[in-house]
Amino acid sequence: MRLSLLFNERQSRPIGVFPARDDPLPCRINNNEHMAPAFIEFHRRLRWADADAAGRLHFPRIFEIIEEAESELLRGIEWPMDVRRKNYDFPRVNINCNFYRIIALDAPFRLHFSVGQLGRTSIRYDYQVFDAGEELAIEGTMTVVVLQAGKPTEIPKALRAALSGETSDPGCVAQS
């Protein structure tokens, strides 16, 4: 899948990662000092591997899809995997998922995955899945805690800034 970055024109830094499309997605640029939290969107079709015997999304597969979105979001803000693996761990401590509509085999859907809340040592991500008609099909949250040497630790400043949209230099995140 090809991805495109949506940039904040004022700060010249990515504020979202989107699948590349011929028709650009409309965007709003926030003109105040506090930028929108980081987010990513995927446009996909439900794969055979993600469907159950009835031909619809097999419920645990949504968690694999949102973990992929989390990885792409962190990659998009330049928080490299080697820093994550060597210095920090991000175990899931709470996951919530509500299913409202069926996503059928081969049906298109859109996942919107964003930073919902930053605590002192935790990150809550929010996600919504929209069906082909742009109806809300699934929504939920995933909370991770930041660990260093097996103990909760404050979210690194550079990561916090990038996730909250407050940094003008995405490269500084990789230095944490």
Q: Is the pLDDT of residue 159 over 70?
A: yes
> What is residue 125's predicted lDDT score, i.e. its pLDDT?
98
In this prediction the pTM is 0.75
Spatial separation of the C-alpha atoms in residues 63 and 25, rounded to whole Å: 26
Domain that holds residue 137: 3-175
> What is residue 175's predicted lDDT score, i.e. its pLDDT?
33
Q: Which of the four pLDDT bands, split at 50, 70 and 90, describes residue 83? A: low
Please report, for the domain that includes residue 93, its CATH number: 3.10.129.10
Average of pLDDT values for 38-64? Answer: 93
How distant, in Å, are the alpha carbons of 43, 44, 131, 146, 168 from that of 107? 11, 8, 8, 35, 38
How many structural domains is the chain composed of? 1
